[in-house]
Amino acid sequence: MTAAELPLPPLPRRPRGRSMHLVRERRDALRDQVVAGRPDAVARQHALGKLTARERLDLVLDAGSFTEIEMYRRHQARGMKMSGQAPHTDGVVTGSGTIDGRQVFVYAQDFTIFGGSLGAAHAAKIHKVMDLALAAGAPLIGLNDSGGARIQEGVMALDGYGGIFRRHVEASGVIPQISVILGPCAGGAAYSPALTDFTFMVRDIAQMYLTGPDVVEAVTGERVSHAELGGAQVHAVRSGVASFVHDDEESCLADVRYLVSLLPSNNMEPPLSGPSCGAARDLRPALADIVPADPAKPYDMRSVIGELLDDGDFIEVHEHFAGNVVCVLGRVDGEVVGVVGNQPLVQAGVLDIDASQKAARFVRFCDSFSIPLVTLVDVPGFLPGTGQEFGGVIRHGAKLLYAYCEATVPRISVIVRKAYGGAYIVMDSRSVGTDLSFAWPTNEIAVMGAEGAVNVLFRRELAAAADPERLRAELIDEYTEQLVHPHYAAERGLVDDVIDPATTRIAVARGLAMLRTKRKLAPQRKHGNIPL
């Protein structure tokens, strides 16, 4: 019998219905078990006042939109206290879903499994979801709740962190990256939020630090609690690490959703436009009442911003840090804009080290993702003093100057009242490249205020005068008339128009419409050397 005549082997047969049914039952039972988690561990998480990883995903994503990847992944480590303990997911839930119908990628660390600690398998899952986010050109959201590196896995845990950090840097300026701290974020894990664009923290449950209280006490002798060392309030007010702080997880994750609605999916797409609301014809007479004509009287720049933006609606970045400058995201006539404004309520709106860094990072973010910039100027100068000079205010102030000079997005500045000295230049003046510059009739653009200038220029005359106060008043009036009058800068082409405060929203809306098709490319180079 030839080979061709040999009987063919039987074809493989599909399992019978009952067998397939059993397979599905087992699969579904395992899936349900993984999703539900261990009841005792879930109860402990709730007792700490915290939601579980999957409850958090339900809040941040559109209902029913989450697609999980690598649910059944387990660690393969062997050794100290690891054998026989290999739960599915390895302490992190990863995948993709939507926010208002737009795709995002997410990972949520699960504190109920190994305290959310990061080992090789845990890191590999995060690496994969980060790679997918970058490949798909979609925002990445990390929900952090982890005790840090998994000690039992040694250097492999550290290697896993390195892979996360490298991917954060590769994705920086390409896709929006958001970190949400919903528990501990200790040791090397703290560098991940530091590399992302925005960091959310929740009071009472979030802590973030490189070395914990025990290590601090052992090395320095200082006794400090977890909250005092790395709580949400500390990072919101003192360190500036936290961009946003909330009292509970629900409001925090709701704001994450709102922030994503204002951001583009990636650096090649524009932010999502909303409907036009007639801003180009919208008079706001209340602005004249908000801002006092007297440059020495304070007011809240956020009230001005509220009149400028659609529905007075915006989200403020680093609200509690460096309060002398305000940075917000909102919309003008449906288009997303970033607004930077001096805050006269805090230190008269001066620029200092922290304010310069805060505004510079915000400007660079907006420029990375094609978000136009509106700058509201009311600045008396840089904060003087040895503390600032020794702390490097020159170097830090240069960060903001560099950020504006480098920005290629549409830029509009509005000089509300005073704009003195180097701070005027730094706050997106015409000389550093703003596209349109408007000024209110209350504007005072000068090297310094009239009184200070007279005291410097006419020191000898004032010392010799029979009535120095009368002479000083006359000289101040003369200096103001010659060098600080409202149209001085406009007459020299440094201001495009001196506008009625009530027309500010109109002027900004029309200016942004004019600049919408601006195409100014950065020079071809590897990168500049920002003064870090």
Catalytic residues: 187-188, 422-423
Whether 440 contacts 418, CB under 8 Å: no
Residues 6+ apart with CB under 8 A from 130: 105, 140, 164, 167, 168, 171
What are the structure tokens assigned to 385, written together?
């003093």
CA–CA dist 158, 324 (Å, integer): 39
How is 424-452 classified by DSSP, letter by letter? HHHTT-GGGT-SEEEE-TT-EEESS-HHH
CA–CA dist 239, 208 (Å, integer): 11
Query: Can you give the length of the chain in residues?
Result: 532
CA distances from 191 to 187, 393, 447 (A): 8, 25, 41
Whether 70 contacts 94, CB under 8 Å: yes
What are the structure tokens assigned to 119, written together?
């080992």
Residues 6+ apart with CB under 8 A from 246: 200, 201, 202, 203, 252, 255
Torsion 297-298-301-303 (CA) sign = negative
Whether 91 contacts 131, CB under 8 Å: no
**Residue in the structure block whose two tokens are 């420029």:** 367
Helix, coil or strand: residue 57: helix
Query: Phi-psi bin for 411: left (phi > 0), alpha (psi -120 to 50), beta?
Result: beta
Task: Identify residue 194 by its one-letter amino acid code.
Answer: A
Whether 433 contacts 405, CB under 8 Å: yes
CA distances from 174 to 139, 379, 456 (A): 9, 33, 50
CA–CA dist 272, 289 (Å, integer): 33
**Bridging pattern class, strands 140-146 and 102-109:** parallel
